[in-house]
Amino acid sequence: MKIEDVVCPFCGCLCDDLVVEVEGDKIVSVENGCTLANEKFLGNNRLKTPIIREGSNWTHIDIEEAIKTTAEILLDADRPLLYGWSGTHGEAQTIGVHMAEMLGAVIDNTSTVCHGPSIMAIQEVGHPGCTLGQVKNRADVIVYWGSNPIEAHPRHMSRYTTYADGFFLKEAFRERKVIVVDIRKTETANIADEFVMVEPGADYALLSALRAIVRGKGDILPHNIAGVEKEQLVRVADICKSARFGAIFFGLGLTMSRGKYKNIRNAIELTEELNRHTKFTISPMRGHWNVYGSNEVFTWISGYPFAVDFARGIAFYNPGETTSVDILRRGECDACLVVASDPGAHFPKDCCRHLASIPTIQIDPHVNATTHLSHLQIPVAVTGIDSEGTAYRMDGVPIRTRKVIETTYPSDSEVLEKIYQIIRREMGP
Amino acid sequence: MRVILETKPRKKSKIPIEAESIIPQNFLRGTDLCVFEGNKQRPLDEIFFITVEGPAVSPDQVEVILKGDTGRIKRVGEYMNAGKIVVEGDIGMHCGNFMSAGKITIKGNADAWLGREMRGGEIICHGNAGHYCGAGYRGEKRGMRGGRLEVLGNAGDFVAEYLCGGEVIVRGDTGDLPGVEMRGGKLIIEGRCIRPCGNMTGGTCMVFGQVQDPLPTFEKKGKTQVDFRGMKVTMDSYRGDVANRGKGSLLMKEQEILPE
Amino acid sequence: MSELLIKNAFVIDPINGINGEVMDIAIRDGRIVEDVGSGADIIDADRCLTLPGGIDSHTHVCGTKVNFGRYMSPEDMRAGRTSRKGSMHVTSGYSVPTTFGNSYRYSTMGYTTLLEGAMAPLEARHTHEEFTATPHQDMMANTLFDGNWSVMEAVRDKDVKRAAAVVSWIISAAKGFGIKLTNPGGTEAWGWGEDVSSIYDAVPYFEVTPAEIIETMIRANEMLGLPHSVHLHCNNLGVPGNYRTTLDTMDLVPDLNSKRQSLYLTHVQFHSYGGSTWRDIDSRSEEITRMVNSSPHIVMDMGQIMFGRTTTMTADGPMEFKLYMLHHNKWSNHDVELETGSGIIPVYYSRKSLVNCVMWAIGLELALQTKSPWQCLLTTDNPNGAPFVKYPEIIALLMSKRFRDQECALLDSRTEKLVPLMALDRELDWNEIAVMTRAGQSRALGIEALGKGHLAPGAEADVAIYPIRTSEIDPSAQYQQVMAGFSRSMYTIKRGRVVARNGDVVVEGANSTIWVKPRLSPEYDLGNDPEFARKFQQYYTVRMSNYPVQDSYLPRGVCIETEADL
């Protein structure tokens, strides 16, 4: 049986035009997806039952027992951390936030190691953006800064930017100019009309220089800025100013290099400056398919998009203090629940060492790097495959993921709801 | 009145303590205060040995002394408006936030956000300070607006971010982007720093040490002489940040720019 | 079966002509009934002012741009934080509170039904998720059509029926409630960084004018039999001299509905400016109200500003950019493909600004100069003019000349020459306030039939009891008590359950979302229309089958099916 318009739960592109062929409780083929989608849908090494450590071995444990143990560990802790959330549906994220406010825990999502700096910059200067369809239909200048979509968001350019024909651009590929800024010639840089090779860690200076040029103050600049010839920068500024509609996309090349959120802020202020001349937007290339969803859910409940600390009853937000990497590195938390993410694979060694030293519970369908740091793992259904729920695309558009096969795994929501109810009962009104 | 607080050993010593109740004026009412250890409320005497010497009728007669393992005690001196606090060792994050008067002396190192959004008063840190020393709060346009903050050692990144009034002095080196977004007030860095005053719109920053990677969007205005510890020093004077319509003043000791 | 009896209620129920009578209100299973048994729970209202639950006909509390406003403003979030308490969740925020924050604060003020000011259909799911998290008010969504490509094409082709068919498909898919037009035509122009400057300005490429869009949509609205009229945020918001645009717009409106207005103009304060620049801006509230007074088929709401800090957020992208150029505050923008736009920027309304003083006066003038309170409803375009928690203060200002004089004395002294406010002596009475905060909204939104906004048997048991005894207060002199009284109800009852008591919310909520679904003949069902489907295949970035809001998002949806004349 073929199921159409399936939503891919992998990257922030949240493509919703996949065709998945299903036989019984197995997926046999995927059409329209990229290699990442194929891996996600066709992959098959799920953890079969909940497992718990006993000494240096793993043993199986009944799910109700696992849920009870999780609740007990979290209730017992003085500073529990609930981390992850980006790989599950919004309904589960909602339960997570309510759990955190009940427990007086810290709740954080993968923005903390990804586009957290983008959010921090937006909190300083705002976000002049748009939905992806605006770019597809109107943009004649595309800028990728510190982002390599060919490898990380494979269908971004064909669905939304460079190669996507739109209402006002019928031969998009011919009518568009692509500018790529990166520290090395990536696959994406290879197809650029203008490739700007910036020195590592020097994007801030480059962005400041561009802003000055757009403002008409380029004469005060030296001939070479951050490894880039001023001549090329002036050319790039001209392309941008004479665009009908320019769209900047940026990734971890800016968020995770020297200056972090100040780089993003500078890029946003450049966009705002360009808006005095023509239409320009800027958008972060969100990684996980539902990390934006976790930002949205955290915000409408607590007021803050990530790194929320409920220890004092009210919501408190301070990246650098309430962010997971900092809390783990300082050895501050005494229990951790990891949901739908893999900190073991992404966090610094000191953080992983601490995770291994405290009771860490993971709710995840697969054995991954975090499993080796955990005390207990509960496998669940994969959202978008055997469970469904809301996801938010990288531009904020909400799409409901589908359930294409039926399995016996509970969903994240079901497991979290049970844990939450035990916590509510124990803690009273 | 002298109030001496000496830390007791704690089982989970890495969990931070939030102690915004530790300000001189609160001790006029006694020592029946509480702090938070993670999500648990604790009475003050569970975390500290408390000794009180002498009377006081107003908060400016109160001196609070913190001893022991104080490096993870946060928010000491928050909203302080009189009196003195002395920390014998290190102090945790957010020391002296929103302070409007009084004096805080830290003999060891201070963690991040020392003197955040300070309005007045004086903070002196003998050791090193962490990131965001003398900075503002996310989303607000104005940060520290008054008072004097002095660090005798080094400071981290984003010193005096959003500075709009008052004075911040770092005798040692700072990290990246000191004075970023500043719009008023005075920032003095006697040691080295990296990329000072990004996006500055106002105020004055003086750097006497080596500057690494100065930003290209500052307009050279000439040279000027300033007084530095009794000597006359020649500074290169810049205006900027031109990327931002900035009219701030950035003075860097001449010829102390590291070659590319 | 649950029964509740409110005894000794001093009732003002304008829809039923009750103007201050002491009576009992019997409630069974969420509805008002003639009487209940002796086993009923009893609340003694002790002759306190009892009104139908408050209805806000234009507030921005849920959805993409509201949440944008939240997460970009941590400094606003930290300004109003509360902990979990009993049934109440954590809340944060001052001008853009979290959803629970909004719900609890509205409930404390006695409000039980809200119309979300703007929802882009593509992002409707987000609005509905936040509706469920605003649990103590029934919610409705104004659905944006101002820049909708399919609509503009129908307008260009002068095909009202097709426009109606487009609206029908989209509003049903998005589970919206009414047609919202924000700067019609302007939001599409903003897709290119442009705007429209009059209602006769052609929209780039589509070659239709705002006037044509408005006229077509008014007709389409009536053709579909929708409960509410077209809800319009006029072109040229905030521009000096824009009162002419507003008058021109009102001139376009035919009288097509005997039960309610044919056009609802929102936050008209922002559209009542004379002069030609910021330097000579003045109040034209007189011209505007003169027109409204002679146009019973038009209803407006105030859009009052109050001094202090707040956040502006509207679908009017170009207007928000203009504010950015003026004040250089942090600015967000979010254009929605094929549909509309939005912008967000924090503002500070100051008494030191002559322009802000004029704006403050105009909102009050609109209310005081409109003869019938049914035609001028109380709002602040929350949070654009001010956070909704300021409504009680506005009520007090409208009821007391003395309070107004006191506030006027604090304004820039030049204000007096530019506005008529100081010469207006009128003081609204309790009945007029009740109309402007619930009865009028119910009628304007067309939800009387659902049982909203009144207290006769059959109505929904949404009741607010305020600690005010009208015989013991002179609102003209004791305006502080008026303010305090409306700020915190003694009881807020929703569907027969006490949800708020003296400022505390005491139960978990279980609200409903009210939406519309026109019934039309199959030939107008665009689900099978190849031209319409092409939009999804080629221009949208979401597939047509993934576009509609699934039923699971409305756990207790109330669907109003209308008979379309199509």
Same domain, A273 and A169: yes
Same domain, A94 and A123: no
Residue A11 included in any domain: no
Same domain, A147 and A199: yes
> Is the distance from CB of C108 to CB of A334 less than 8 angstroms?
no
Q: How confident is the model at residue B187 (pLDDT cuts 50, 70, 90)?
A: very high
CATH code: domain of residue A194: 3.40.228.10
Same domain, B92 and B146: no
Strand C497-501 to C504-505 pairing: antiparallel
In 3D space, the residue among A152, A116, A144 whose CA is nearest the CA of residue A260 turns out to be: A116
Number of residue pairs across A and B with CB atoms under 8 Å?
106
* Structure tokens belonging to residue B95: 């020391």
Same domain, A130 and A227: yes
Same domain, A197 and A321: no
| CA-angle at C323, arms to C320 and C326, nearest 5° | 155
- Per the rule left: phi > 0, alpha: psi between -120 and 50, beta: everything else, C452 is beta
**Euclidean distance between CA atoms A95 and A340, whole angstroms:** 14
> How many other β-carbons are positioned within 10 Å of the β-carbon of residue C502?
12
Chain B nearest C-alpha distance from A148 (Å): 27
Is B46 touching C (CB cutoff 8 A)? Answer: no
For A315, the domain range is 47-114+289-427
- Per the rule left: phi > 0, alpha: psi between -120 and 50, beta: everything else, B255 is left
Residues C308-353 have pLDDT tens digits of 999 999 999 999 999 999 999 999 999 999 999 999 999 999 999 9
Same domain, A145 and A279: yes
For B34, the domain range is 1-98
State whether B138 and C74 contact (CB < 8 Å): yes
Same domain, A258 and A293: no
Could you write out the DSSP letters of every residue in A92-106?
HHHHHHHHHHHHT-E
Chain A nearest C-alpha distance from C192 (Å): 6
Find residues 324-363 of chain C whose CB sits inside 8 Å of chain B: 329-330
Chain B nearest C-alpha distance from C83 (Å): 13
> Is the distance from CB of C392 to CB of C487 less than 8 angstroms?
yes
In 3D space, the residue among C311, C307, C349, C388 whose CA is nearest the CA of residue C73 turns out to be: C311
Residue A255 included in any domain: yes
Q: What residues of A are in contact with residue C93 (Cβ under 8 Å)?
A: 303
Same domain, A392 and A373: yes
Residue B93 included in any domain: yes
Strand-pairing partners, residue B63, are B2, B84
Same domain, A151 and A70: no
Q: Where are the domains positioned within chain C?
A: 55-426
Q: How confident is the model at residue A172 (pLDDT cuts 50, 70, 90)?
A: confident
pLDDT of residue A428: 83
Residues A23-80 have pLDDT tens digits of 999 999 999 999 999 999 998 889 999 999 998 899 999 999 999 999 999 999 999 9
Residues 6+ apart with CB under 8 A from C169: C525, C526, C527, C532
Residues C41-100 have pLDDT tens digits of 999 999 999 999 999 999 999 999 999 999 999 999 998 899 999 889 999 999 999 999
pLDDT at B257 over 60: no
Residue B173 included in any domain: yes
For chain A, the first-to-last Cα distance in angstroms comes to: 49
Pick from B41, B78, B97, B140 the residue to mutate for testing the C interface (most C CBs within 10 Å): B140
The total number of residues shown for chain B amounts to: 260
Residue B5 included in any domain: yes
Number of residue pairs across B and C with CB atoms under 8 Å?
13
Element (H, E) at A400: strand A398-401
Residue A62 included in any domain: yes
Fill in the DSSP letter of residue B42. Answer: E
Same domain, B151 and B69: no
In 3D space, the residue among C173, C113, C170, C177 whose CA is nearest the CA of residue C139 turns out to be: C113
Same domain, B16 and B133: no
In chain A, DSSP finds a helix count (H) and a strand count (E) of 18, 22
Chain B nearest C-alpha distance from A161 (Å): 29
* Structure tokens belonging to residue A394: 């990288």
Q: What share of chain A is helix, strand, coil (3-state, %, to 5)?
A: 40, 25, 40
State whether B14 and A330 contact (CB < 8 Å): yes
Is A123 touching C (CB cutoff 8 A)? Answer: yes
Residues 6+ apart with CB under 8 A from C147: C184, C185, C186, C187, C188, C190, C191, C338, C339, C340, C341
Among the candidates A284, A302, A329, a domain finishes at A284
Residue B103 included in any domain: no
Among the candidates A226, A255, A284, a domain finishes at A284
Strand-pairing partners, residue B42, are B35
Instruction: Of A154-158, B29-33, B157-161, give the lowest mean pLDDT range.
Output: B29-33
Is B138 touching C (CB cutoff 8 A)? Answer: yes
Q: What share of chain B is helix, strand, coil (3-state, %, to 5)?
A: 5, 40, 55
> Is the distance from CB of A129 to CB of A282 less than 8 angstroms?
yes
Fill in the DSSP letter of residue C162. Answer: H
A324-327 long-range Cβ contacts below 8 angstroms, 24+ apart: A324/A81, A324/A83, A324/A106, A324/A108, A324/A112, A324/A113, A324/A351, A325/A112, A325/A113, A325/A351, A327/A79, A327/A81, A327/A106
In 3D space, the residue among C66, C157, C48, C162 whose CA is nearest the CA of residue C114 turns out to be: C66
* Structure tokens belonging to residue C252: 């376009």
Same domain, B172 and B201: yes
State whether B176 and A258 contact (CB < 8 Å): yes
> Is the distance from CB of B206 to CB of B197 less than 8 angstroms?
no
pLDDT of residue B198: 97
pLDDT of residue C473: 96
> Is the distance from CB of C108 to CB of C487 less than 8 angstroms?
yes
State whether A5 and C546 contact (CB < 8 Å): yes
Give pTM, 2 decimals: 0.97
Residue A9 included in any domain: no
Same domain, B32 and B78: yes
pLDDT of residue C257: 96
Q: Name the CATH code of domain C55-426 (choices 3.20.20, 2.40.330, 3.40.50, 3.30.1490).
A: 3.20.20
Q: Cα dihedral angle (A213, A215, A217, A222), rounded to 10 degrees? A: -20
Among the candidates B98, B128, B161, a domain finishes at B98
Burial letters A348-368, b for 16+ CB under 10 A, else e: eeebbebbeebbbbbbbbebb
**Euclidean distance between CA atoms B20 and B28, whole angstroms:** 15
Same domain, B37 and B69: yes
Same domain, A216 and A318: no
pLDDT at B260 over 60: no
In 3D space, the residue among B199, B158, B153, B197 whose CA is nearest the CA of residue B175 turns out to be: B158
Counting the structural domains of chain A, the total is 2
The total number of residues shown for chain A amounts to: 429
Strand A245-250 to A141-145 pairing: parallel
> How many other β-carbons are positioned within 10 Å of the β-carbon of residue B150?
18
Residue B106 included in any domain: no
| CA-angle at A110, arms to A108 and A112, nearest 5° | 70
State whether A295 and C129 contact (CB < 8 Å): no
Chain C nearest C-alpha distance from B137 (Å): 7
Counting the structural domains of chain B, the total is 2
Cα four-point dihedral sign A290, A296, A302, A308: positive
Same domain, B120 and B215: yes
Same domain, A315 and A366: yes
**Euclidean distance between CA atoms A134 and A382, whole angstroms:** 31
Same domain, B116 and B204: yes
B101-108 long-range Cβ contacts below 8 angstroms, 24+ apart: B102/B24, B102/B59, B102/B60, B102/B77, B104/B76, B104/B77, B104/B80, B108/B70, B108/B71
State whether A320 and B112 contact (CB < 8 Å): yes
Averaged pLDDT for residues C242-247: 98
A284 CB-side CA count, 13 A: 31
pLDDT of residue C566: 82
Q: How confident is the model at residue C216 (pLDDT cuts 50, 70, 90)?
A: very high
Strand-pairing partners, residue A309, are A106, A316
Is B215 touching A (CB cutoff 8 A)? Answer: yes
Same domain, A84 and A165: no
Q: Which residue has the tokens 């006490």?
A: C498
Residue B169 included in any domain: yes
Among the candidates A244, A261, A284, a domain finishes at A284
Mean of the per-residue pLDDT values for chain B?
Answer: 95
Distance, CA of A420 to chain centre:
25
pLDDT of residue C413: 96
Q: How confident is the model at residue B229 (pLDDT cuts 50, 70, 90)?
A: confident
Same domain, B171 and B226: yes
Residues A247-271 have pLDDT tens digits of 999 999 999 999 999 999 999 999 9
* Burial (CB count within 10 angstroms: exposed 0-12, middle 13-18, buried 19+), residue B12: middle
pLDDT of residue A355: 98
> How many other β-carbons are positioned within 10 Å of the β-carbon of residue A320?
17
- Per the rule left: phi > 0, alpha: psi between -120 and 50, beta: everything else, A396 is left
